[in-house]
Structure 1
């Protein structure tokens, strides 16, 4: 393989265009999962402006770019997926039929190990290193919103009826309900991040927006837009007041759901569910094929989904002492976390403890 590795600022306009073209044609080439915006050059370049060690490997055949592999690495040769921890889709974007030798790719990238936690399907050379595979629910809207809604009514009649009734009640109680699919007001983004931070603290989770690089990344992506990529802020208003919001990333055919939150003062109306239905309607009108709700077991995802994709976590390693040491440190932590998440008898007590700690922390 002819492999060149670039810093984000060194990637040429030609390579960016070729990378984008591979994504835009992915659904026609039998690999629709490669169209995810987390696999886009815009996301990799944005992370590169916020984090050190971002690199992009370009594989060429006859001088033409046929595969693009973004990653992050340390000086010791430990590699991780770009934006790991906030990226919901990872892997190599490639032309149809292309395959690669994982060890050869890592060697060319100067990596002893490459760690992933949302490896997309169809990455056979990496899948041998997967330690677990997990569902990522999606909402299919390629046949139009009315088709999606009718399927939702058939599958979950009570949920659909209740959610639509709550939207009408919100309008009666709080004032006119208005939805903006692509809100450009930066103040609305700050409101959403404040809600999300409060939610993290309230539920005892780590506040992602306490990390300046994540806040900077989201703000960058909010201002990033092209024909094939955009950061989309969607907001539900009642009488002109924001009651729910979501910031996600859009490619030509996929809306990747990322940061949803709502004003707890309106929780009885389930504004987050109302927002997701409005998002589905607007996305369908924009030609989006599906909304990717992301890995993670949540009741609202089960209610809204039409099917599930699969993402994997694990490591690809070369024979190297650094790879052995990294995996030895990381494997027990991941195994414990996944065991807790997968077993209700463990997860529910742990969740209660986190929420109790979150309440204590919120009071101080």
Structure 2
């Protein structure tokens, strides 16, 4: 198998290879693998990651001289492999042509990896799925049949949520000056506002501030300026009283808008501007021909209300017989097991969440 595999830095891929990668994504829904169209599996995301993190590589598998599959990954000098953007990426795996099969351990050997760790492995990755240690819901909003159809389903499935959210939207329009929605805002100042809100939210809730990591900030800014026909970073903003009151930054391909960083101004919390924003995003996405908004892994009340169904992603690792793989798994497994036990059990999660928020309030005091 390895005779057909070459490993490249993302910037070394030819224009033809990048076009082939994009074509596999754009046709994935026609071949029964719509999960491969996720923006986090795109060449643009991998290239942006290579600009802010070391060790990003792409294995290109060829059959008959033509690209059959693309496997993006990050590699350490010791041979520890991670999914590209592990911890911030919401979709991971091999982008491949219909009917493509591979041996996971042979692929790792060809890439010089002792282990490959993932936390958002998409469906249909059978050779990697055998290494999954857990599978989790990833809610989506289907808008492929249009906004009115989605809204009708929302009213049937979550009537109280739909009624109150739409009422708050009307109240926001009535109570504020110049309320408006911009689906694809190009003002970098609005992006900085969003990142400031998100940092404050992380601190307020006792979570680790992702935007305190310079590489995550650089990644988001780079993706904000990345635009092509099949891919773009999309900043959506809800304005009122002449300023942003809610915003979201995500990534889109031709058919999928991946929801990533939403936040809002707490001064407008009574209007639930974040929920209003998601409904406006769904309406605009449907008009743009987007089929699906992927809300990302994890159960939250607002996701349960907005979703039409769940996809599933997995976490775990695939290993070769190698001491580096043994050591990596021994170090990482207890941390993951503890986190998942807390998140999945209300009797553990609720007191832990309260404690984090209490710590957050202390940290946020002037």
The two structures have a TM-score, normalised by structure 1, of 0.99
The residue that corresponds to 1:139 in the other structure is 141
The residue that corresponds to 1:111 in the other structure is 113
Q: Could you say what secondary structure the match of 2:117 adopts?
A: strand
| CA-CA distance at 1:176 after TM superposition | 3.0
Instruction: Tell me the distance in 1 between the aligned counterparts of 2:303 and 2:36.
Output: 22
The residue that corresponds to 2:159 in the other structure is 157
Q: How does 1:215-254 map to 2 (within 5 A)?
A: 215-254=217-256
The residue that corresponds to 1:198 in the other structure is 200
The residue that corresponds to 2:51 in the other structure is 49
| CA-CA distance at 1:348 after TM superposition | 0.3
Note the alpha carbon deviations across 1:241-291, whole angstroms, 9 max, x for none.
Answer: 110000000000000000000000001110000000000000000000010
Note the alpha carbon deviations across 1:19-53, whole angstroms, 9 max, x for none.
Answer: 00000000011100000000000000000000000
Note the alpha carbon deviations across 1:117-164, whole angstroms, 9 max, x for none.
Answer: 000000000000000000000000000000000100011111101001
In the alignment, which of 349, 356, 359 is matched to residue 357 of structure 1?
A: 359
Note the alpha carbon deviations across 1:86-134, whole angstroms, 9 max, x for none.
Answer: 0000000000000100011000000000000000000000000000000
The residue that corresponds to 1:95 in the other structure is 97
Q: How does 1:210-359 map to 2 (within 5 A)?
A: 210-359=212-361
Count of aligned positions: 364
Instruction: Tell me the distance in 2 between the aligned counterparts of 1:198 and 1:28.
Output: 42
Q: Could you say what secondary structure the match of 2:280 adopts?
A: helix
Q: Could you say what secondary structure the match of 1:302 adopts?
A: helix
Instruction: Tell me the distance in 2 between the aligned counterparts of 1:6 and 1:63.
Output: 16
| CA-CA distance at 1:171 after TM superposition | 1.7
The residue that corresponds to 2:176 in the other structure is 174
Instruction: Tell me the distance in 2 between the aligned counterparts of 1:240 and 1:164.
Output: 21
Note the alpha carbon deviations across 1:171-190, whole angstroms, 9 max, x for none.
Answer: 22222320000000000000
The residue that corresponds to 1:67 in the other structure is 69
Unaligned runs of 5+ in 1: none
Instruction: Tell me the distance in 2 between the aligned counterparts of 1:241 and 1:168.
Output: 18
Q: Could you say what secondary structure the match of 2:315 adopts?
A: strand
Instruction: Tell me the distance in 2 between the aligned counterparts of 1:250 and 1:171.
Output: 28
Q: Could you say what secondary structure the match of 1:316 adopts?
A: strand
Instruction: Tell me the distance in 1 between the aligned counterparts of 2:356 and 2:70.
Output: 40
Q: Could you say what secondary structure the match of 2:230 adopts?
A: coil
The residue that corresponds to 1:35 in the other structure is 37
Q: What RMSD, in angstroms, separates the aligned Cα atoms of the two structures?
A: 0.6
In the alignment, which of 22, 25, 33 is matched to residue 23 of structure 1?
A: 25
Instruction: Tell me the distance in 1 between the aligned counterparts of 2:176 and 2:360.
Output: 29
Q: Could you say what secondary structure the match of 2:119 adopts?
A: strand
| CA-CA distance at 1:344 after TM superposition | 0.4
Q: How does 1:1-16 map to 2 (within 5 A)?
A: 1=1, 2-16=4-18
Instruction: Tell me the distance in 1 between the aligned counterparts of 2:118 and 2:11.
Output: 23
The residue that corresponds to 1:83 in the other structure is 85
Unaligned runs of 5+ in 2: none
| CA-CA distance at 1:8 after TM superposition | 1.6
| CA-CA distance at 1:169 after TM superposition | 1.0
